[in-house]
Structure 1
Amino acid sequence: MKILQVNTVCGSGSVGRIATDLYQVIEQSGNECMIAYGRGSAPADIKSIKVNSKIDFYNHVLFQFVTGANGFASTKSTKKLIKEIEQFNPDIIHLHNVHGFYLNIELFFLYLKQKNKPVVWTLHDCWSFTGHCAYFDYVQCDKWKTGCHHCEQYKSAYPYGLLHDNSLFNYKKKKELFNGVQNMTIVTPSYWLKDYVAQSFLKTYPVEVIYNGIDLQQFKPVKGELTKKYSFDSKHVILGVANMWEARKGLKYFIELSHLLSEEYQIILVGLNKKQMKELPSNIVGITRTQNVNELAQLYSLSSVYVNATLEDNFPTTNLEALSCNTPVITFATGGSVESVDEECGMVVPKGDINLLKEAIELVCQHPEKYDKCIEKAKKYNKNDRFEEYMNLYRKVYEDK
């Protein structure tokens, strides 16, 4: 089989790493894979094609800011992608994030309907069935169930639209474009998202749940230079990691914790931008974003607990990475984040309850022997096992076609 994956990035960020990990499994199974991506760069050992130029990207961002219509620019990039698909001639097209200022969804989905090739679409957020937002739990909005309009987040939430709320147009066009694709199977990485899809305009498609997988050989208990640098004289280290510390990722809760916890505890946050670094309280250590897996594994390994204070999320791989490094996880009861945590490897706290979050941190740090099944739990998310589920799905849709 020849499989083409399509995503915003290749090899960076959680979804980009999922795409390249899956690429390796596809190739090792004797099949052929290529990744088409829009931004950044790809690892040298990955057969890939970058479809977007910087000019096209900036034009798309500008178009989005001015019109509020997300996914209707990047005409040149999309035509380039279609040309590459024709040349590669895949048996299956596997979509990941099709948002991210690199695709014209109208051109692209009309092409998919015309070609009638088997399509697998992994939804890593809720963007595909809303008129604007990637997530909506934060503002407790359910307009997506009947038809988006008067979006509360069009200025404040990705993908940002500064001048116009075009959520009604976006919703109607997505509903029109995304429905009617023959031989398309949707994959969700959580049962939480599967339930949302069943309530959306995508409900007619078959939906499979395949949990995200991680590389247990990369994410494992390790020591290195960072272990020495951030030892903090036997303090309990509390770690938080995000690609981008937006409001929904819960940065404010770490700020509050820094005032509530005693000096026995040290908070480290990874993924901050320069402005956030300057504004941090003096008792929080900030680290900018890193794509170095070994550095991340060291940080997870030296931590007493990984805290995921996210207020809306699908199925965060950071939970899995922490568990694989033998670090217990505490998460708010948010989306699919709770699906990877149980009483043997961490705790689930009611969303937004800072006092219970503090108590959970103290309990886990003071009684680590109660949470000794982290690595065992992480084995459930071995990428080779999880991605074999994708191989089985590929075989099924290929044979059905």
Structure 2
Amino acid sequence: MKVLQINSTVNSGSTGRIAEDIGHFLLQQGHESYVAYGHGNRPSSSRLFKVGNEWDRRMHGLKSRLFDHHGLGSVKATKNFIRQVEVLQPDLIHLHNIHGYYMNIHGLFEFLGAAGIPVVWTLHDCWPFTGHCTYFDRYACDKWQQECHHCPNIHGYPQSWLIDNSRSNYRVKNQIFNAVRVMTIVTPSQWLANHVKQSFLKTYPVEVIHNGVNTDVFKPLDAPGAGGRYALNAQNYVLGVANVWDTRKGLGDFIRLRGKLDASIALLLVGLTRQQTDGLPKGITGVPRTESVEDLASLYAGAGAFVNPTYIDNFPTTNLEALACGTPVVTYNTGGSPEAVEKGVGYVVEKGDVDGLALAVRRVLVQGAAFRVNCRLKAENFYDKNDRLQDYLALYKRLCAVASHQTVYDGLQN
């Protein structure tokens, strides 16, 4: 079986690492794996296809900002990529994030609709069924259920400076995304699955396949981990991890949390820029984003609690990584984030309740030993990467079988 995945990044960030893990697993099982991507230069076990170049990406970004036409740029880059796909002739195409200023959705879905290749589309956010935004719950907006217009989040990613084309974008997506014959939509969370079933994508089958983590890498440690290099006491610091720390990820709430905890409890944030690190108050250590999963696992394992004060999210892999390391999770009641957190592995707090975060952290630090075994078991039973990769492989085989039967049927009809 020859599988082509398409994602904005390669082997970087949560979606890039998911695609990389799937590709590596396919190769182990004797299949062929290819990954097409928009930007980044990380190595991969799969054969790579770069879509466009930096100039094209900049022009696509400018078109998005000036005309709210995200996904409608990169025409030539997409045409060139489609020619490569036609030569490759994959048995199945797996879409991840097709937003990110690199892919023209008209060109891509015109090809998918005509080619008859089975498609899996893992939605990592809500962009595929809205007229603009990746998440709408920040504004409690439900226009996407009927038709987007007058978008309240026009300045959110993918940002438009002046024009609101959410109604037109919504109609375009509705038309072209519903033109694929054999497609299954996968969501990492039940929360997102429920939303898809209320959207214009509801005609497609929807399956929930949770994100998985490598439980051989993300695991509890007997000795103090990487936190030691930052002069942090083992199991007495609170950890936060994000690819990009901003208001959406709760950076301001983390800073407020500092003032509500005892001074002996250190806070460590991973993924900050130099400017953000320089602005941190005393008692919070900031470090840049790391591509080393071993270092990251060590930081998780050494922490007394993992705090994820995210305001907008789908099914954060960071929660799963913390659980696999035996570290209890405290998170806001946001999207699918609470789905991995139940009694005995952490606490769920309402958005913006920093006092609630502080109370939950104190409880976790006092009862840490009782939580740690439960956290690890939860990760092993539900979020082991190999189990979830088997789910994807089973789905691939099923869709390819359906496509094969359809091809035979079409041939008999002709």
Structure 2 equivalent of residue 368 of structure 1? 368
Change in Cα spacing, 1:383 to 1:225, as seen in structure 2 (3 Å) is closer
Letter in 2 for 1:167: S
The answer to whether the 8 Å contact 2:227/2:234 transfers is no
Please report how far the alpha carbon of residue 224 of structure 1 lies from its aligned counterpart in structure 2 after TM superposition.
7.4
Letter in 1 for 2:336: G
Please report how far the alpha carbon of residue 227 of structure 1 lies from its aligned counterpart in structure 2 after TM superposition.
3.3
Which stretches in structure 2 are left out of the alignment for 5+ residues?
404-414
The answer to whether the 8 Å contact 1:250/1:311 transfers is yes
Structure 1 equivalent of residue 401 of structure 2? 399
Residues in 1 aligned to 2:391 and 2:128: alpha-carbon distance in whole angstroms: 23
With normalisation by structure 1, the TM-score equals: 0.97
The answer to whether the 8 Å contact 2:268/2:285 transfers is yes
Describe the SS at the equivalent of 1:160.
Answer: coil
Describe how 1:233-312 pairs up with structure 2 within 5 A.
Answer: 233=233, 236-312=236-312
Structure 2 equivalent of residue 123 of structure 1? 123
Please report how far the alpha carbon of residue 345 of structure 1 lies from its aligned counterpart in structure 2 after TM superposition.
1.3
Residues in 1 aligned to 2:69 and 2:293: alpha-carbon distance in whole angstroms: 36
The question of 1:56 aligning with 2:52 is answered no
Structure 2 equivalent of residue 167 of structure 1? 166
Comparing 228-237 and 16-25, the one that deviates more: 228-237
The answer to whether the 8 Å contact 2:240/2:306 transfers is yes
Describe the SS at the equivalent of 1:141.
Answer: coil
Structure 2 equivalent of residue 23 of structure 1? 23
Comparing 195-204 and 339-348, the one that deviates more: 339-348
Structure 1 equivalent of residue 385 of structure 2? 383
Say what the alpha-carbon RMSD is for the aligned residues. 1.4
Residues in 2 aligned to 1:377 and 1:388: alpha-carbon distance in whole angstroms: 18
Change in Cα spacing, 1:9 to 1:224, as seen in structure 2 (3 Å) is farther
Please report how far the alpha carbon of residue 123 of structure 1 lies from its aligned counterpart in structure 2 after TM superposition.
0.2
Structure 2 equivalent of residue 136 of structure 1? 136
Letter in 2 for 1:216: T
Structure 2 equivalent of residue 189 of structure 1? 188
Please report how far the alpha carbon of residue 165 of structure 1 lies from its aligned counterpart in structure 2 after TM superposition.
1.4
The answer to whether the 8 Å contact 1:3/1:92 transfers is yes
Comparing 129-138 and 37-46, the one that deviates more: 37-46
Please report how far the alpha carbon of residue 233 of structure 1 lies from its aligned counterpart in structure 2 after TM superposition.
4.4
Structure 1 equivalent of residue 208 of structure 2? 209
Residues in 2 aligned to 1:77 and 1:345: alpha-carbon distance in whole angstroms: 46
The answer to whether the 8 Å contact 1:231/1:302 transfers is no
Post-superposition Cα deviations, 1:128-159, rounded to whole Å, max 9, x if no partner, equal 0001110111121111111111111111x111
Please report how far the alpha carbon of residue 44 of structure 1 lies from its aligned counterpart in structure 2 after TM superposition.
4.6
Change in Cα spacing, 1:166 to 1:233, as seen in structure 2 (3 Å) is same
The answer to whether the 8 Å contact 2:225/2:302 transfers is no
Please report how far the alpha carbon of residue 221 of structure 1 lies from its aligned counterpart in structure 2 after TM superposition.
2.8
The answer to whether the 8 Å contact 1:69/1:169 transfers is no
Please report how far the alpha carbon of residue 246 of structure 1 lies from its aligned counterpart in structure 2 after TM superposition.
2.3
Describe the SS at the equivalent of 2:297.
Answer: helix
Describe how 1:26-45 pairs up with structure 2 within 5 A.
Answer: 26-45=26-45
Residues in 2 aligned to 1:294 and 1:125: alpha-carbon distance in whole angstroms: 27
Letter in 2 for 1:161: S
Please report how far the alpha carbon of residue 262 of structure 1 lies from its aligned counterpart in structure 2 after TM superposition.
1.2
Please report how far the alpha carbon of residue 400 of structure 1 lies from its aligned counterpart in structure 2 after TM superposition.
0.8
The answer to whether the 8 Å contact 1:135/1:312 transfers is yes
Residues in 1 aligned to 2:256 and 2:37: alpha-carbon distance in whole angstroms: 38
Structure 2 equivalent of residue 232 of structure 1? 232
The question of 1:318 aligning with 2:323 is answered no
Please report how far the alpha carbon of residue 49 of structure 1 lies from its aligned counterpart in structure 2 after TM superposition.
1.2
Post-superposition Cα deviations, 1:297-320, rounded to whole Å, max 9, x if no partner, equal 111111100001011211110011
Residues in 2 aligned to 1:280 and 1:169: alpha-carbon distance in whole angstroms: 42
The answer to whether the 8 Å contact 2:228/2:234 transfers is no
Residues in 1 aligned to 2:25 and 2:398: alpha-carbon distance in whole angstroms: 17
Comparing 131-140 and 343-352, the one that deviates more: 343-352
The answer to whether the 8 Å contact 1:343/1:371 transfers is no
Letter in 2 for 1:46: S
Change in Cα spacing, 1:225 to 1:377, as seen in structure 2 (3 Å) is closer
Structure 2 equivalent of residue 83 of structure 1? 83
Letter in 1 for 2:182: N
Letter in 2 for 1:205: Y
Change in Cα spacing, 1:196 to 1:225, as seen in structure 2 (3 Å) is closer
Letter in 2 for 1:189: P
Describe the SS at the equivalent of 1:248.
Answer: helix
Residues in 1 aligned to 2:20 and 2:295: alpha-carbon distance in whole angstroms: 19
Post-superposition Cα deviations, 1:209-261, rounded to whole Å, max 9, x if no partner, equal 10011111221234677332234346721111111112111111101111111
Post-superposition Cα deviations, 1:152-176, rounded to whole Å, max 9, x if no partner, equal 1111x11111121111111111111
The answer to whether the 8 Å contact 1:235/1:264 transfers is no
Letter in 1 for 2:67: T
Letter in 2 for 1:85: V
Post-superposition Cα deviations, 1:48-102, rounded to whole Å, max 9, x if no partner, equal 1111201101111111111111100011221122012112110101000000000
Identity %: 47
Describe the SS at the equivalent of 1:34.
Answer: strand
The question of 1:99 aligning with 2:107 is answered no
Post-superposition Cα deviations, 1:165-190, rounded to whole Å, max 9, x if no partner, equal 11111111111111121001100011
Which stretches in structure 1 are left out of the alignment for 5+ residues?
none
Please report how far the alpha carbon of residue 193 of structure 1 lies from its aligned counterpart in structure 2 after TM superposition.
0.4
Residues in 2 aligned to 1:308 and 1:187: alpha-carbon distance in whole angstroms: 24
Residues in 1 aligned to 2:185 and 2:331: alpha-carbon distance in whole angstroms: 27
Describe the SS at the equivalent of 2:219.
Answer: coil
The answer to whether the 8 Å contact 1:235/1:266 transfers is no
Residues in 2 aligned to 1:233 and 1:314: alpha-carbon distance in whole angstroms: 32
Structure 2 equivalent of residue 12 of structure 1? 12
Letter in 2 for 1:114: A
Q: How many aligned residue pairs are there?
A: 400
Residues in 2 aligned to 1:95 and 1:229: alpha-carbon distance in whole angstroms: 39
